[in-house]
Amino acid sequence: MRFFMNKGSNTLIKKLKSEGYNFFTGVPCSLLKETFSFLEKEEKEYYPAIREDSALGLASGAVLAGKKAAIFMQNSGLGYSLNVLTSFNLIYDVPLLIVMSWRGYGKDAVEHNIIGEKITSILDSVDIPYFVLDEKNLSSLTEKIEKWHTKNKTFVILVKDQY
């Protein structure tokens, strides 16, 4: 995670912008604090949200208005988001990119353990593809984004809390 929290967050935002992403929203997470700091300072198309399902609503509206939207959130927010994803985005093929910190992947606060252990199973159970991002595979991210976005799929980039 040290990579992502330092230079990786800026690299990811720049990569997303080079892929045409022009709308950013999310709910702050301490593991993504550098990303949120960068968005707040550098990105005029960043709209903070009070809850993850609200961020999905903002981003979905932006997509329907012709933008490419990315959402940043913690994996614990997936619980708030599942109804929105399964009753709107997945049914109507409204593609969103969700960058999700993977709390509970490694040593973390106990309240993150259950969701951390089950996050990939939850995503699999509702057919949301995901990509586990780390320093070594950042370069292949563009290929994954294009593959999923051209299929009008919502997809998740999981960012581990430690490598």
For the record, the structure tokens of 104 come out as 């509970």
User: What is the Cβ-side half-sphere exposure of residue 74, based on CA atoms within 13 angstroms?
Assistant: 19
- What's the pLDDT score for residue 14? 84
- What's the pLDDT score for residue 8? 60
Q: Cα–Cα distances in Å, from 161 out to 29, 33, 84, 89?
A: 11, 12, 25, 27
The DSSP bridge partners found for residue 131 are 157
Q: What is the pLDDT of residues 54-82, one digit of tens each?
A: 999 999 999 999 999 999 999 989 988 99
- What's the pLDDT score for residue 3? 46
Give yes or no for a contact between 52 and 27, defined as CB atoms under 8 angstroms apart.
yes
* Buried b / exposed e along 119-154 (16+ C-beta atoms within 10 A): beeebeeeebebbebeeeeeeebeebbeebbeeebb
Lowest mean pLDDT among 5-9, 35-39, 43-47, 117-121: 5-9
Q: What is the pLDDT of residues 106-156, one digit of tens each?
A: 676 767 777 888 899 999 999 999 999 877 777 777 777 777 766 778 999
- What's the pLDDT score for residue 108? 67
Mean pLDDT of the chain: 84
